[in-house]
Amino acid sequence: MSEAVTADLAAAARRDLPEMLADLRRLVELETPSNDKSLLDAGLDGIEAWLSERLGEPAERTRHDGGAFGDVLEATYPGTTAETVLLVCHYDTVWPRGTLAEWPVGIDGDRFSGPGCFDMKAGIVQGVWALRALREADLPRPTVRLLLNGDEEIGSPASRPYIERASEGVAVTLILEPSREGMVKIQRKGMGLFDVTAHGVESHAGLDPAAGASAIHALAEIVPALTALADPDRGTTVNVGVISGGTGRNVVAGRATCEVDVRIQDPAETARVDAGLTALAATDPRVKIEVAGEWNRPPMNPNPATERMFALIREVAAELGTDLGAIAVGGASDGNLVSALGRPVLDGLGAVGAGPHSRDEHVLVSGTPTQVATVAGLMERIARGGR
């Protein structure tokens, strides 16, 4: 019986593929860069209108003001059983205003391309069509709580509390971020974003060099100390991505800053790295070192509830002829926030494709029906009590 249901869901997804692609075009053509509040607001307005067309009006709807960031939309669509599933998707992208003018949406063979199509507007489309498929087939379905946020690409500063609250008590949170070659992401690294600033003493580099204390020279000493905090065997990496400072070639620099990205897999590493950051000091005592920033996301590591859900989705995928794999990745997502609370979460259930954050970003059209059917099949099993 299950195999027949899954096969029917896949057939429906293949039939509806042209409409899905039209919907994806519609969403991608709503430019929604993370740092452009006016475009984010207009984009979410457009997505809401599309949701109403595809799913009707939700039983509950709340649009939380994101302040300087994108708003957070929560919409609830009742199911036929007592179970609830949370779908989390972000609608912001890394692409600035005007990108569409030079990079329009296009389909070339199996490749659908356009800014933000893979990361992650295809995930929004696929999640909505998975729910539509269950409705149209009159299959058991859980209540679906859909959360759309507009600040994921910059760390979810406004949406984090809403995501954490919405994930409480649900059977599973499904993060419709892009897949990695069709695999589910069950492990992600945690992320810390820090700015290390050296405050020195300015002087004339030719007339009175000894009177100065170079912030740049001090920072050059600090960078090796930063990178030494990495511990690859424990999954900890440190990257100094940007350095800036000084005012002129002939001026002993009074200030210099570097931007640091730290990734960890082991939660215990936060304390060790914090201690290393606190201990940073320049050889010249006249230079003061200041560290600002925070741990943006905790690591996402599998918990027993997640492992049970992964086993369930593997059953669905097997019925579709796929040996679904799991993968660990270095990037972070909103799945980290849910996993850190000990709740079940499956990530990377969105588009099959490649090139996130690059001009090669694309969705593989042929992979879309399988992804939709997999999510729909998982929700159908959960509705039947398959926690």
Catalytic residues: 92, 152
Give the DSSP H or E segment for 184: strand 184-188
Residue of 240, 242, 262, 118 whose CA lies nearest to 189: 262
Taking the C-alpha atoms of residue 382 and residue 380, their distance in angstroms, rounded to an integer, is: 5
- Contacts of residue 185, Cβ cutoff 8 Å, sequence gap at least 6: 175, 177, 179, 326, 327, 328, 329, 333, 335, 347, 348
Sheet holding 237-245, edge to edge: 237-245, 255-264, 190-199, 288-297
Taking the C-alpha atoms of residue 83 and residue 81, their distance in angstroms, rounded to an integer, is: 6
Task: Residue count of the chain, please give it.
Answer: 387
One-character DSSP codes across 279-345: T---SSTTSEEEEEEEEEE--B---HHHHHHHHHHHHHHHHTT----EEEES---THHHHHTTT--E
- Tokens standing for 275? 């201690």
Place of tokens 């005012």: 247
- Tokens standing for 301? 């590591």
Residue of 318, 313, 349 whose CA lies nearest to 334: 349
Angle 17-28/122-136 helices, nearest 10 degrees? 140
Specify whether the CB–CB gap between 326 and 345 falls below 8 A. no
Specify whether the CB–CB gap between 29 and 105 falls below 8 A. yes
Residue of 187, 332, 194 whose CA lies nearest to 261: 194
- Tokens standing for 54? 């595809």
DSSP letter (8 states) at residue 156: -
